[in-house]
Copies of this chain bind each other. A is one copy, B any other.
Amino acid sequence: VRTIDWVDGGVEIIDQTALPARTVTRRLSTVNELVAAIQTLAVRGAPALGVAGALGVALAARQYREEALAGAVLRLETARPTAVNLARGVQRAAARLAAGPDAVLAEALAVRDEEIASSAAMAARGADLVTELCGPAPRLLTHCNTGGLATVVGGTALGVVAELHRRGALRGVVVSETRPLLQGARLTAWELGQLGIGYQLAVDGAGPFLMAQGMVDAVILGADRICANGDVINKVGTYAHALGAQRAGIPFLVVAPESTVDSATPSGADVKIEDRSPSEVLSFAGTLVAPAGAGAINPAFDITPHDLVTAIVTDRRTLRPDPAFSGKM
Contacts and interface: CB of A to CB of B under 8 A. Distances in A.
A202 interface: yes
The 4 closest A-B pairs by CB, nearest first: A205-B237, A209-B302, A204-B205, A243-B243
Interface string A285-329: 111011101111111001100000000000000000000000000
Contact of A298 (B178, B202, B297): B202
A239 B212 contact: yes
A240 interface: yes
B286 A287 contact: yes
A190 interface: yes
Given A179-B179, A293-B193, A206 B299 contact: yes
Interface string A224-249: 00000000000011111001100100
A206 B289 contact: no
Interface of A: 20, 174, 176-180, 182, 185-186, 189-190, 193, 198-210, 212, 215, 236-240, 243-244, 247, 278, 281-287, 289-291, 293-299, 302-303
14 contacts: A182-B289, A199-B294, A199-B295, A201-B281, A201-B296, A202-B298, A205-B237, A205-B238, A206-B297, A207-B240, A208-B243, A209-B239, A212-B303, A240-B243
Contacts of A215: 297
A270 to B, nearest CB: 14
Given A193-B291, A284-B285, A180 B203 contact: yes
B237 A290 contact: no
Contact of A281 (B177, B207, B212, B287): B177
Contacts of A176: 205
Contacts of A20: 290-291
A297 B202 CA distance: 6
A299 B207 CA distance: 10
Contacts of A180: 203
B209 A303 contact: yes
Contacts of A247: 243
A303 B212 CA distance: 9
Given A294-B193, A303-B212, A282 B206 contact: no
Contacts of A177: 179, 281, 289
A186 B244 contact: no
Given A199-B295, A210-B299, 6 more contacts: A177-B289, A189-B294, A200-B297, A201-B296, A205-B238, A240-B243
